[in-house]
């Protein structure tokens, strides 16, 4: 095991700026490990010859515990303790200095401007400066990394420490935008789909060659697995040094710790998304909440009474009865879209992916098409996706109105052109009037008083078809006859029959309108029965 005396270690990096305040007679003690300690209970884990870095925060107000700690560390074989006094503590307590001087146990004061990492990195670099790293070194590396992780120092510090241990450049990559990791200093190539799949299956570090700063570089890639799924990776790039065989084990330990950190981020994000989903439900369905309260609640999502919004519903065209969350993850959708639409709200409502979108400089159609194609690219193989879009309105009331319009449009998707991907409520025409009447007797009564009479007299539907083609061709007899492959006189006969049976005159605007709406009612009732 490589080691260094305390005296020599204090010549390394910014450790040289620290001050020995007690136990000067112990400066020749040997350091083999370096550990961050913020919880006194860590003493039982120590093996001896450690340099301890601490703020004493946990026992800052307990003099007895402070004195006891010095004794415990001394008898545990710890080489020295370096203290960065907590702000409210001021100087290192006299009791600690007195106890340390009696035992000849070095106590070092870390100035405010020096970070743990400023000491840890150069000392660890020295300690690990052997070509062959023993298993004890791996355990030591794991403890260091774990201490960094447990103390929530962030991914930056974690990367620096793994880099210090492996003596190579280290990067972390995340598959999800909601897990924010440091960007690499140089351009790197993305792992292929097959490589990610391989990592997710094997769940262990693998040697690859990847591009770093436009050069092909050997590297070790360890998968970050959360709940059995590939969430990202940690990569050690052999830019400065060749990889040691033992680096595989170090990367594996590091990836396990990162899996826990990624899981924490996922749980935190899941909770935020659930909170957001609850807010969206209240916004849309709870009419008893005032706009003022909704605006206050939605402030964290930049909800404004003056901003224009529209609702977009995304779901399966064939109305799959399984919960859409079995196929589509709203968290992934949110992560997919949040970069381009930072204020978008995404949730699952009535088995549809619901999006509340602030209107920007781009048109509703352009935005809807872009969102649809982004989502389809990811989920198009799982579902036959279809999008329904409400109109643009201001504030909470407007959002609610747009949602119900989008919902109505989605229900009427079969009324739109065949295989249409995006249905706009604004383009539904007469269906907007009659759609809300589905399932109500008024719609049936209107149908029976108009086109229903034609069905009874003509069960084969020849007259209904004729009427549909007639209206579709702007009431042109010639074009209608050509499309139906009949003579104009035959068409005139059919039109007379329609008038006789319905008791409506196609030359009168109101009668013509009733027949047109009756035709739409027939289509709605037919669709509703399917």
Q: Greater confidence, 143 or 54?
A: 54
Question: Given this model, what pLDDT does residue 319 score?
Answer: 63
The confidence score (pLDDT) of residue 19 equals: 94
Would you say 431 and 417 are in contact if contact means Cβ atoms under 8 Å apart?
no
Q: What does the DSSP assignment read for 257-311? A: HHHHHHHHHHHHHHHHHHHHHHHHHHHHH-TTS-HHHHHHHGGGGT--SSSEEEE
What per-residue confidence (pLDDT) applies to 106?
Answer: 96
| pLDDT of res. 415 | 58
pLDDT band at 472 (very low <50, low <70, confident <90, very high): confident
pLDDT reading at 244 higher than 80: no
Residue 139 confidence class, pLDDT cut points 50, 70, 90:
low
Q: What is the DSSP string of 459-473?
A: TT-HHHHHHHHHHHT
Name which of 48-57, 366-375, 376-385, 426-435 the model is least confident about: 426-435
Residue 140: the pLDDT is 66
pLDDT at position 247 is 80
Provide the pLDDT confidence category of residue 320 given band limits of 50, 70 and 90: low
Specify the domain boundaries for CATH 3.30.450.40 within the chain. Answer: 154-266
Of 100, 107, 124, the closest CA to residue 54 belongs to: 107
Whole-number average pLDDT of the chain: 83
Which residue would you say has higher pLDDT here, 317 or 17?
A: 17
- For the cut 90, the answer to whether the pLDDT of residue 484 exceeds it is no
Highest mean pLDDT among 211-215, 288-292, 468-472: 211-215
154-266 domain in CATH 3.30.450.40? yes
Give me the pLDDT at residue 474, please: 84
Q: Is the domain covering 4-127 a CATH 3.40.1390.20 domain?
A: yes
Query: Does the pLDDT value for residue 520 go beyond 70?
Result: yes
Q: Is the pLDDT of residue 245 over 80?
A: no
Q: What are the pLDDT digits (tens) for 249-267?
A: 889 888 988 998 899 888 8
Decide: 60 and 69 in contact? Cβ < 8 Å: no
Model confidence at 58, in pLDDT bands (50, 70, 90)?
confident
pLDDT given at position 132: 42
Q: Residue 133's pLDDT is what?
A: 46
Share of the chain above pLDDT 70, in %: 87
**372-415 pLDDT, tens per residue?**
988 888 877 777 788 999 999 998 999 999 999 998 888 876 55
Q: CATH 1.10.10.2840 region(s) of the chain?
A: 434-529
Q: Which residues contact 132 (CB under 8 A, 6 or more apart)?
A: 244, 246
pLDDT of residue 15: 92
Q: Which residue has the higher pLDDT, 291 or 225?
A: 225
pLDDT value of position 137 = 60
Q: Give the pLDDT of residue 468.
A: 85
Domain with CATH 3.30.70.270 in the chain: 287-428
CATH 3.40.1390.20 in the chain, residues?
A: 4-127
CA 168 to chain centre: 30
pLDDT tier for residue 131 given thresholds of 50, 70 and 90? very low
Superfamily of domain covering 287-428 = Reverse transcriptase/Diguanylate cyclase domain (3.30.70.270)
The pair of three-digit structure tokens given for residue 18, joined into one six-digit string:
């620290």
- Under the banding of pLDDT at 50, 70 and 90, the label for residue 354 is very high
**pTM score above 0.85:** no
Predicted local confidence at residue 437, as pLDDT: 66
Sign, CA torsion 188/192/198/200: positive
Average pLDDT (336-340) is: 80
Identify the sign of the CA torsion 258, 259, 262, 264.
negative
In the predicted model, is pLDDT for residue 471 greater than 70? yes
Residue 39: other Cβ atoms inside 10 A: 13
Cα angle: 496, vertex 497, 501; to 5 degrees: 120
Least trusted range by pLDDT, from 148-157, 215-224, 251-260: 148-157
Tell me the CATH architecture of domain 434-529.
Orthogonal Bundle (1.10)
CB contact at 8 A, 424 and 405:
no
pLDDT bucket at 419, cuts 50 / 70 / 90: low
Are 118 and 13 in contact by the 8 Å Cβ rule? The answer is yes
Lowest mean pLDDT among 80-89, 251-260, 344-353: 80-89
* Residue of 4 and 317 predicted with greater confidence: 4
What pLDDT, on a 0 to 100 scale, did the predictor assign at position 186?
A: 93
**What tokens appear for 71 in the block?**
């004794």
pLDDT beyond 50 at 130 = no
Q: Is a pLDDT exceeding 90 seen at residue 188?
A: yes
């Amino acid at each position: 095991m490589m080691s260094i005396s305390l005296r020599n270690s204090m010549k390394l990096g910014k450790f040289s700026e620290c001050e020995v305040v007690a136990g000067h007679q112990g400066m020749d003690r040997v350091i083999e490990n370096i550990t961050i300690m913020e919880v006194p209970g860590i003493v039982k884990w120590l093996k001896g010859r450690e340099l301890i870095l601490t703020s004493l925060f946990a026992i800052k107000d307990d003099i007895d515990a402070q004195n006891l700690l010095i004794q415990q560390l001394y008898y545990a074989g710890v080489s020295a303790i370096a203290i960065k006094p907590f702000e409210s503590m001021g100087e290192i307590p006299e009791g600690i200095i007195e106890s340390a001087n009696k035992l000849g146990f070095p106590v070092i004061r870390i100035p405010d401007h020096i970070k743990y990492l400023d000491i840890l990195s150069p000392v660890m670099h020295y300690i690990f400066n052997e070509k062959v790293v023993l298993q004890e070194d791996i355990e030591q590396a794991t403890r260091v990394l774990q201490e960094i992780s447990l103390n929530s120092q962030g991914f930056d510090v974690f990367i620096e420490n793994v880099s210090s241990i492996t003596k190579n450049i280290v990067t972390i990559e995340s598959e999800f935008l909601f897990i924010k990791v440091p960007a690499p200093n140089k351009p790197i190539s993305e792992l292929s789909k097959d490589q990610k799949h391989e990592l997710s299956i094997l769940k262990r570090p693998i040697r690859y060659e990847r591009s770093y700063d436009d050069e092909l570089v050997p590297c070790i890639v360890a998968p970050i697995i959360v709940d059995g799924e590939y969430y990202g990776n940690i990569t050690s790039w052999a830019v400065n040094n060749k990889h040691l065989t033992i680096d595989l084990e170090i990367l594996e330990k590091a990836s396990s710790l990162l899996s826990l950190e990624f899981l924490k981020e996922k749980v935190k994000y899941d909770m935020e998304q659930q909170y957001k989903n609850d807010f969206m439900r209240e916004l849309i369905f709870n009419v008893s909440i005032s706009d003022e309260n909704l605006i206050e609640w939605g402030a964290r999502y930049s909800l404004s009474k003056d901003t224009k919004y529209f609702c977009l519903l995304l779901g399966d065209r064939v109305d799959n009865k399984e919960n859409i969350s079995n196929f589509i993850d709203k968290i992934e959708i949110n992560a997919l879209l949040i970069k381009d639409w930072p204020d978008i709200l995404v949730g699952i409502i009535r088995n549809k992916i619901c999006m509340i979108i602030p209107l920007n400089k781009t048109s509703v159609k352009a935005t809807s098409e872009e969102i649809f194609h982004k989502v389809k690219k990811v989920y198009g193989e799982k579902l036959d996706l279809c999008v329904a879009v409400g109109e643009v309105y201001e504030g909470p009331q407007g959002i609610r109105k747009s949602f119900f319009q989008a919902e109505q449009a989605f229900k009427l998707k079969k009324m739109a052109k065949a295989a249409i991907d995006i249905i706009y409520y604004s383009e539904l025409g007469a269906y907007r009037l009659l759609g809300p009447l589905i399932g109500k007797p008024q719609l049936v009564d209107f149908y029976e008083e108009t086109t229903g009479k034609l069905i009874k007299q003509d069960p084969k539907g020849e007259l209904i078809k004729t009427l549909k083609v007639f209206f579709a061709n702007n009431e042109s007899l010639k074009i209608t006859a050509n499309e139906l492959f009949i003579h104009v006189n035959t068409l005139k006969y059919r039109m007379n029959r329609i008038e006789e049976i319905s008791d409506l005159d196609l030359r009168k605007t109101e009668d013509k309108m009733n027949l047109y709406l009756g035709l739409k009612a027939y289509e709605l009732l037919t669709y509703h029965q399917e």
